Structure 1
């Protein structure tokens, strides 16, 4: 089995996610930035992930850039993933080095979509400091674009028109929390994980995630889990998508929200092994 899991708001949680009740549980730091701890897991979740990663192939799969992912310290707790997927599927890291075969596949896919410069030229016709945070826009690992937005001030009708135009050029517009992403179709978590599943010859895929950028991967998996918080859960509650997967089974949402959801997800995956 391969277990592919998103990190932020699925397995690891920032200070903003910690409620008074969650702080009562033992939590441990898993990321440092500017000499302070910024992301955490519960002690129980770390123990469960240690147990799980010792039995099956655990692959962190994240929209973080390579640099942002490098700050996450699971190794300090004896969890050393052989692979990691970063940059929303644009990069596969194998034992600390970029997988060149996957990089070639991603670069080859660029010929089927518009150049990012053309896309951003059109996007900047509607972006404005009133709703795009100044100097927040980034071209992540030369693979996709994101910026931080004020959702209450976004021009939704103009963005809908832009999204339709971008889709014809094989780019996706996705809004997750305070971030707006522009991502080419061929850069996806699902594609990278299917590549690793085939490479390792593993027939069963379990997946977890909280974001709409995780949805394709969750729908592909043999077993899929999502925390009861975040953009994916909100959109599901609103009926924007169904939770059906390719085998007609549902994405299983946790009973717990917040940092405790990670423990519940890991227990579900361990139960699959039994």
Structure 2
């Protein structure tokens, strides 16, 4: 029986662009994602080793806003994964394949509680401007986002668009150059709770097994809040917001070293749990 369920965000928590990785100082790195023939995402070598060892010791559930296709581009240490969560919780991958029943339930919940995607994408387009919007995309027929020139984007855009979305069952979050609009009912914590339920039902987890979580963005906030123990890096959207929660740990470092600190924290918590069990 496993001693912890570890749910971790990926981008800017475990994996980084080369520039973001260097924020906290230089270190030996390895590429974990190629895109169109070029290296895109990296981990420090030590972080990759720590994640591989963590996955061998307990249940790790990669938990990301990426689509299934985007997630599959990553060569993440510790794979293969019995469970992974993509699309901000709308998709649960079971042995690498989407769980259709879970997605159908999410789609129904969105239809019951949120304005249609077409309405939100149209409003996002109307409020944008070619002088600062580089791309507008929809993801998995579920949510939409902009890729923006942050220096040229109006300072009030996220706040004002967020107010418009809030009355329609949607939320807005900024992750670096990306501005996401996401149905409120689509969240990582719901999917983690479902994975946890399944693991308890099949005997992998004891009902008292703790959930440990890590993430850097506003889309991770509910996941961090609902975990038994949580950590966030000293960078990203939550750091800009100075977001806190009871018992939340904030890393000392930013950039690549923060991922190592997060993984050290996961291992330390796992070791404490093992000592308690014994």
> What whole-Å deviation, never above 9, does each CA across 1:14-35 have from its counterpart, x for those lacking one?
1112439844x32211111122
Q: Give the whole-Å Cα distance in 1 for the aligned partners of 2:260 and 2:94.
A: 26
> What whole-Å deviation, never above 9, does each CA across 1:133-180 have from its counterpart, x for those lacking one?
1xx111101110001123343345565444223212101111221111
2:80 matched residue in structure 1: 80
2:275 matched residue in structure 1: none
1:34 aligns with 2:36: yes
2:223 matched residue in structure 1: 217
* Cα pair distance change 1:20/1:126, threshold 3 Å: closer
Q: Give the whole-Å Cα distance in 1 for the aligned partners of 2:170 and 2:14.
A: 28
1:151 aligns with 2:150: yes
> What whole-Å deviation, never above 9, does each CA across 1:181-201 have from its counterpart, x for those lacking one?
110011111111111111212
> What whole-Å deviation, never above 9, does each CA across 1:207-250 have from its counterpart, x for those lacking one?
001111111111111111111111211211xxxx4x12xxx32x
* Cα pair distance change 1:154/1:17, threshold 3 Å: closer
Q: Give the whole-Å Cα distance in 2 for the aligned partners of 1:158 and 1:49.
A: 37
2:196 matched residue in structure 1: 197
Give secondary structure in 2 for the equivalent of 1:54: helix
2:128 matched residue in structure 1: 127
CA contact (8 A) 1:49 1:79 kept: no
1:261 aligns with 2:263: no
Q: Give the whole-Å Cα distance in 1 for the aligned partners of 2:157 and 2:31.
A: 41
* Cα pair distance change 1:155/1:39, threshold 3 Å: closer
* Cα pair distance change 1:158/1:54, threshold 3 Å: closer
- Normalised to the residue count of structure 1, the TM-score between the two structures is 0.88
Give secondary structure in 2 for the equivalent of 1:124: helix
CA contact (8 A) 2:56 2:78 kept: no
Give secondary structure in 2 for the equivalent of 1:219: helix
1:271 matched residue in structure 2: 268
CA contact (8 A) 1:17 1:259 kept: yes
Number of residue pairs the alignment of both structures matches: 260
| Range moving further from structure 2, 178-187 or 116-125 | 116-125
> What whole-Å deviation, never above 9, does each CA across 1:49-81 have from its counterpart, x for those lacking one?
12111121101111111111111002xx55322
1:11 matched residue in structure 2: 14
Deviation for aligned residue 1:83: 1.2
- Normalised to the residue count of structure 2, the TM-score between the two structures is 0.87
1:229 matched residue in structure 2: 235
Q: Give the whole-Å Cα distance in 2 for the aligned partners of 1:158 and 1:5.
A: 29
Q: Which runs of 5+ in 1 are unaligned?
A: none
1:106 aligns with 2:103: no
CA root-mean-square deviation: 1.9
2:93 matched residue in structure 1: 93
Runs (4+) of structure 1 exceeding 6 A deviation are none
